Amino acid sequence: MKADLEGTPLWVSVDETTDVAGRYFANVLIGKLDKEKSLSPILIACTFLENPDVAAIARLINWSLLDLWPNFDSNLLTVMLSDSADYMLKAGNNLKVFNPKMCHLTCLAHSLHKLAETVRELFPVVNHLISAVKKVVCKTPSRIATWKNNYPHLPLPPSPCGFYSKKL
């Protein structure tokens, strides 16, 4: 694995999650950036974090790379992938100081969500209208019962945000 990655431009991806007890964990994956066929992405760290913040993420990435290669060439880290949480953006900026060729890319879905949250905050009346429509259409037991009576063989329309009661 190290031989396949040695001396080639690399990408690194970091993401933080929680376990069932609410503890924070971060995972670091790396991969090779070149046109040749290379190994699949490799998980190089899965670490418990006391507090997922800028310093913790930046240290985790640096230490993970230095753990594999004690004399890691910082010019080889060319791409960092993460979500668009504020602390990830700041960690990416901090890592650019030590990895001059690194470009920080964020997940498009996370960026769109962040944009939607900003719009929601800027237009509270529209946010209230959308919330009211959701309550009427998605959370009203009588409407769900009507759907089930009229269409007993069809499931409820999909709801990515979990608006429907799981008991039904």
* Per-residue tokens: 106: 């964020």
**CB under 8 Å, gap of 24 or more: what pairs does 143-151 form?**
144/168
Residue 5 has what pLDDT?
Answer: 84
| 24 inside domain | yes
| 108 inside domain | yes
| 89 inside domain | yes
Alpha helices by DSSP H, 39-139: 54-68, 86-98, 108-122, 124-138
| 149 inside domain | no
Residue 37 has what pLDDT?
Answer: 67
| 40 inside domain | yes
| 101 inside domain | yes
Residue type at position 103: C
Per-residue pLDDT of the chain (168 residues; tens, 9 = 90+): 787 788 889 999 999 988 888 899 999 999 998 777 666 889 999 999 998 899 999 999 999 999 988 999 999 999 999 988 889 999 999 999 999 999 999 888 878 888 888 888 999 898 888 788 777 766 678 878 888 899 888 887 665 554 444 444
Number of domains observed in the structure of the chain: 1
Residue at token pair 């960026």: 111
Q: Please check whether residue 55 is in contact with residue 87, taking contact to mean a CB–CB distance below 8 angstroms.
A: no
Quote the pTM value: 0.66
Range of the domain at 64: 2-112
| 20 inside domain | yes
CATH code (residue 22): 3.30.420.10
Residue at token pair 């899965």: 46
| 134 inside domain | no
